Amino acid sequence: MKRRVIIAAFICTTFLVGINNTVAMTCVDLLKEIMPMPKDIVKKQLEAFNNQDIEGCLKYFAEDLKIIVLPEETVMASSKEEIRQHMKDQIDSGDFLPAKLIDISSNGKFVTTTEVKDDGKIKSTITFIYYVEDGLIKKMWGAPFREDSTN
Q: Would you state the pLDDT for residue 140?
A: 97
Over residues 54-79, the pLDDT tens digits come to 999 999 999 999 999 999 999 999 99
Q: Would you state the pLDDT for residue 36?
A: 85
pTM for the whole thing? 0.77
Q: Which of the residues in the chain have pLDDT under 70?
A: 1-34, 148-151
Distance between CA atoms of residues 83 and 72, nearest Å = 20
Distance between CA atoms of residues 125 and 149, nearest Å = 11
Beta bridge partner(s), residue 124: 117, 146
